[in-house]
Amino acid sequence: MAISPPSERLWWNEPIAKIELVWIVVAFLWGVVMFGMMIYWHAEGEQNLSNEAYRTTPEVFAEKANAMVEKYTVREEAGYPVVHPPPGSEVYLIARLWQWWPILELEKDQSYRLHISSMDWQHGFSLQPVNINLQIHPGYEMVLTATPDKLGEYGIVCNEFCGIGHHTMIGRLYVVE
Amino acid sequence: MAINEVFRICPSTGLKIHKPAENLIKANAVAAVVFLAIGGLFGLMVALTRWPAVHLLPADWFYLALTAHGLDVLLVWIIFFEMAVLYFASAILLNSRLATPRWAWAGFWMMLVGALIVNAAVLAGNSSVMFTSYVPMQASPWFYLGFLLFAVGALIGTFVFFGTLVVAKDEKTYEGSVPLVTFGALTAAIIAVFTIASGAIILIPTFLWSLDMGIVNYIDPLMYKTVWWAMGHSSQQINVSAHVAVWYAIAAIVLGAKPLSEKVSRTAFLLYILFLQLASAHHLLVEPGISSTWKIFNTSYAIYLAVLGSMIHGMTVPGSIEAAQRARGLTNGVFEWLRKAPWGNPAFSGMFMSLVMFGFLGGISGVVMGTEQLNLIMHNTLYVPGHFHATVVAGTTLAFMAITYLLIPLIFQRELILKGWAKLQPYVFAIGVGGISLFMMGAGTLGVPRRDWDIQGADSVLSFDYPATAYLMMGLNGMAATLAAVGGLMYVVVVVGSILFGERTADKKPEPGVAEQASVVGHYGSAGTLKLPGTAILVTLFFTAFVLYYFVNWKYLSEVWPLR
């Protein structure tokens, strides 16, 4: 039994039953397939993180974001500037207690280099209803090239706990023609 | 001689039981159950708050309760119970004395005091930082101190276990190799050492930082997360090793099941030791500043070798049950062995449901979520707690509950009271937890964030409306959690009631028990008992579900915005 010492002293010489052997081979090969799938997606898939990131400070990052906001603000909404940067440009998004700032307005099927960083604690960038989720750290500037492919109004929800106002940390993003 | 006074012979199993070991098992198991009750209550309050129609707690209390829930059940209940499992798998199963009971008691008290300090720090209201306490968010120094004290206590218990193995070997209390269950417990203990070391490496500097005395001024948040999860995730692998050992133990005690092959089952445990520690990466798949190469290698435990270990156990545990049942003559059709299994015995029913739910719900969702790119559409949504409630609650907690029903007569020497409740309890709890897990995963795929007091965004300047289905999922989750809480309460009542008021088994004549049944099972490795069509069908079903669900999620991923 499993609660008593093996009845055969030389248990490592026991033969392995066929059903076990088949299952081990199947399970191992499935692991290889799943491992290969991640690599394959880097080659052929369209949803991969760039791995591009820089060390930064809240001050430096905020300065860049402010410069973008000053240049490309098109209107205001609920106290937030709505920024419409040109396609292909560098776009900055600030995460801080408890807002995503500013509101971005992007054009459909255009690519943007999106920079995100936190001013204080960790935050979770969760774009809804697309359900793209990223972890945002203070001191790190994450860069990825995003190509919004559907029109609409999107929410950016914070999904990393960031204190008592965490649930109020909701931002907005528009994708327009 | 004094040595005779510290042992008793168990009348039903013939095992030689070291009384100090027995007392330690009792103390650890009781402490575990108390914290399960407390943590479970916090969990119920969390779920009722997340049920939009009920919305029980105010925001500050919600985050406090969520922090306490994670600490008390994920850490305190499980590790206390694991100490009991370690002492059982060493001293009791090896017929040995426990090494240095005094150190074991010191470890126990440190764990208890540590757990109380952490709870006090959280209840004081200034440490609602969640179980993970990600920096730069800061808790009170007591929070980290209590955590550390608890971990050191657990480390002492782990070394008492190692010491007992040495003592047993030295005093020749058993012949040949240690039993498989002890081997599994050893796996858990080895991983525990790695886990606790990682915890110390990250929590000691964090504690110094929280003192604000200038000793440590800055902790890099990414470094914190990487090392913290070397503890946080590895501690879940202690649970996996421990509850797999418990599955084997229950199958052996209730049905006299033998492992199909000692070699295969032990190698599967060895795979855990070699590869499980890489899983810190599961929590870092959408972080800035970490390369995809690192992510792919680590998140897959180097080509899924630890997953291979679990898949092997997932086949050999039901396989050994089928072999034992068939050897007993339940050979009709493919599933007579399963149909006529002792479903009325809560140890067996709990164990089998733990096995099935851990595999189908927890295992599959874990691998899918831990795939580098797929994590993009799941990270930090409610899918994550959905997954780990299937592994840690339906898997570990249910397995530990199941073996409690065997420990009460064996170690506490009491009959179960409320036998009808005990019979029903695993089902109530399993259905509840299965619901929690599925509905949270469902809500997560709809984007509902974890650790969030109010998804309606009533207090926020900008808002986002979740689909009605998400609200439905949260309501169903609340109901399922209520059911699970009822199951948990039944467990606590039966266990505490039996320990206090159960009839003493020592007063009764020994019943023909385990040893006799065990002999029914023949030699393993013989071709006769190893036709296992039922198990083959079960694992085929599992594999099909796994493959389909895996690729469905790639399909979902391919539909989101292109990212480079």
- Does residue B317 fall inside a structural domain? no
Residue-level pLDDT at A13: 87
pLDDT of residue B33: 95
Which B residues, 270 through 309, put their C-beta within 8 Å of a C-beta on chain A? Answer: 284, 286-292, 296, 300, 303-305, 307-308
Greater confidence (A43 vs B11) lies with A43
| Partner-chain contact B312 A23, CB within 8 Å | yes
Please spell the DSSP secondary structure of B515-553, one letter per residue. HHHHTTS--TT-GGGG--HHHHHHHHHHHHHHHHHHHHH
Instruction: Please say which residue of B143, B178, B213 terminates a domain.
Output: B178
Q: Does A142 touch chain B (CB under 8 A)?
A: yes
- Cβ distance B286 to A122 less than 8 Å, yes or no, reads no
Residues 485-544 of B with CB under 8 A from A: 518, 521, 523-525, 530, 532, 535-536, 539, 543
The reply to whether B162 falls in a domain is: yes
Q: Considering B178, B211, B228, which residue would you say is the last residue of a domain? A: B178
Alpha carbon of B219: minimum distance to chain A alpha carbons (Å): 11
Q: Which helix (H) or strand (E) holds B18?
A: strand B16-18
Task: Please provide the DSSP assignment of A19-59 as one string.
Answer: HHHHHHHHHHHHHHHHHHHHHHHHHH-SB----EEEE--HH
Mean pLDDT of A23-40: 96
B462 vs A131: CB contact, 8 Å cut-off? no
Cβ of A51 under 8 Å from any chain B Cβ?
A: yes
Provide φ and ψ at B521, rounded to 5°: -75, 130
Q: Which residues of chain B have pLDDT under 50?
A: 1, 510-528
CA distance A24 to A128: 40
Give the closest-approach CA distance of A85 to chain B in angstroms: 18
Task: Domain ranges for chain A, please list them.
Answer: 11-44, 52-176
Q: Answer whether A2 sits within 8 Å of B252, measured CB to CB.
A: yes
- For residue B368, the enclosing domain spans 342-454+464-505+527-564
Query: Could you tell me the pLDDT band of residue A50, with boundaries at 50, 70 and 90?
Result: confident
B297: in domain: no
Q: What's the CATH code of the domain at B494?
A: 1.20.210.10
CA distance A162 to A155: 18
pLDDT recorded at residue B279 = 85
Torsion of CA B407, B491, B108, B273, to 10 degrees: 70
Q: Which band of pLDDT confidence, cut at 50, 70 and 90, is reported for residue A8?
A: confident
What are B193's two structure tokens?
A: 């050492």
Residues A72, A92: contact at Cβ < 8 Å? Answer: no
Which residue out of A167, A170, A172, A175 would a mutagenesis test of the B interface target, given it has the greatest number of B Cβ atoms within 10 Å?
A167
Provide the pLDDT for residue A15: 85
Mean predicted confidence (pLDDT) in A31-43: 96
Query: Under an 8 A CB cutoff, do B258 and A2 touch?
Result: yes
**Rounded CA gap, A71 and A90, in Å?**
12
User: How far is the C-alpha of B536 from the C-alpha of B318, rounded, in Å?
Assistant: 10
In chain B, the residue whose alpha carbon lies closest to the alpha carbon of A158 is B449
Question: Hey, what amino acid is at A42?
Answer: H
Place of tokens 């820089």: A54
- Which secondary-structure segment (H or E) carries A93? strand A90-96
Number of residues written out for chain B: 564
Distance of CA B55 to the CA centre of its chain: 29
- Tally of structural domains, chain B: 2
Question: Looking at residue B205, what is its pLDDT?
Answer: 95
Tens of pLDDT along B232-261?
998 899 999 999 999 999 999 999 998 999
- Indicate the pTM of the whole model: 0.94
Tell me, yes or no, whether B52 lies in a domain.
yes
**CATH code at A52-176:** 2.60.40.420
Where among B127, B160, B178 does a domain terminate? B178
Identify which of B90, B111, B105 has the alpha carbon closest to the alpha carbon of residue B32.
Answer: B111
